[in-house]
Structure 1
């Protein structure tokens, strides 16, 4: 009896493997113009830093599918093609069940635009997130479009993202997301902090703002210069205002130094009340002029 049970377990495991293999080959069986990774080729790769996280799969004879989450931006899926295979125009994003779930009905999620580009399909939120959720459930997101290849022009083409070997890579990807910066370069390239009258101290709120800049500068190796400019309102004489703007700018510079920012990157300047952001005609405007601006410059 024990030997018989072992044979049953072995045969069940064999059927599971065959089911996985069949799911990856089934598209080729049903439609010769289908692209997707076979079970032995299905590999997901995770790349990441504090600036972006990527999750990608090579699609044999077609190109690559990439989920990309950049700091401060929404998730995007990009389908890259080695050559012009998809005809520009309309395509469909389909939720396709694996072969070992034969009762799962395929359904169209949305229509897409195919462009004449090496990245012919780009999918933003919420559909890129839906694709990830499908893969995590063992489904296979499929892009269906017309072929533009010379031999098969006008035929239907399917590009399939395989769920085989997805889980571990997805866990690594989620781990990357947990340390992703909340801002990108465009969002942090120009910043300003504001001071009370005659004040030069860095409040807790200012320090939090500066900490985010420090974190970004350390993560982005393309930053080549940090311009720190001190300003005042028109209250007081010009000489005192120039000195006050210098002290404010120096306070920011010293904070960056203590946080480990390379001193060679920083350029400190101070202007007194020479360059107001707004006319000094009200208390509200003067409050906007008592500032230090921080501008990041990239290579």
Structure 2
């Protein structure tokens, strides 16, 4: 194993006569993969690297299958560092060639990230029993070289569950619904067909994401009818949306409602279409930074 690592380093990171190599990778007994996130809004696959940190693959709900790999180091880079990501064969597969996956830059004080295409390549290499390995110079002593490997031992079972999780991710993200406008049919509490689809999305997302700490519901009317009546209508609309979320299991403490009546029109009231735009409920959601 050490001979193979030294040969790779000789090709990609030349060693001086006084250089040292530190190689971090889980042994056969240590190698474990864990599906730490398995919900319709996040899939997360983790692997501990002894004495170094953690390897994390993450995909979030959204319109496309996004994927980010994060090399969460216990000790963050002290300077901007260039690294090379290789795919190495395990020691029990002699004769299999190493291949380069990508080159990347570690930013100062941040963990290493690998974005979509290269991250998918890493998963593919692991699935085939290969060992994605990062090579870079120690930022405290540039003569010393570091190799950080991801072991494929015990990977495939958890990867199968990770892929099943990916298939169940919601096709929209928090950003897609964090600001949602619901519109109403004329003269009542009935949401339009499109608004019903939107509120169902918001409710579904909220049921899975406990990190949403506040849901603000602001309700408005057009100018038809008396001002006091419209104020009450707006309050009923806000309360009905809140009740919908509460019935779905969202705690009342996370929801704040305000009825604004005829205030804050977004269009005039001269046409049917403009009045329809004013009959609305605006849902705003926030999460901790």
TM-score range, shorter chain: 0.7 to 0.9
The SS at the match of 2:232 is helix
Structure-to-structure mapping, 1:17-166, within 5 angstroms: 27=4, 30=7, 32-50=21-39, 51-72=41-62, 74-83=66-75, 88-119=80-111, 121-150=112-141, 153-166=142-155
C-alpha distance in 1, partners of 2:78/2:130? Answer: 23
C-alpha distance in 1, partners of 2:44/2:3? Answer: 28
Match of 1:15 in 2: none
> Which runs of 4 or more aligned residues in structure 1 lie more than 6 Å from their structure 2 counterparts after TM superposition?
none
Structure 1 runs not aligned, ≥5 long:
1-21
Distance 1:89 1:222, change over 3 A: closer
C-alpha distance in 1, partners of 2:172/2:50? Answer: 35
- TM-score between the two structures when normalised by the length of structure 1: 0.78
C-alpha distance in 2, partners of 1:204/1:260? Answer: 23
C-alpha distance in 2, partners of 1:87/1:96? Answer: 27
C-alpha distance in 2, partners of 1:210/1:164? Answer: 44
Structure 2 runs not aligned, ≥5 long:
10-20
Distance 1:105 1:285, change over 3 A: farther
Residue 167 of structure 1 deviates from its aligned partner by: 0.8
Residue 123 of structure 1 deviates from its aligned partner by: 1.0
Residue 138 of structure 1 deviates from its aligned partner by: 1.3
Give the aligned length: 273
- TM-score between the two structures when normalised by the length of structure 2: 0.80
- Contact 2:44 2:56 (8 Å CA) reproduced: yes
Superposed CA RMSD: 2.9
Match of 1:16 in 2: none
**The 10-residue stretch of structure 1 (263-272 or 126-135) with the greater mean CA deviation from structure 2:** 263-272
Match of 2:190 in 1: 201
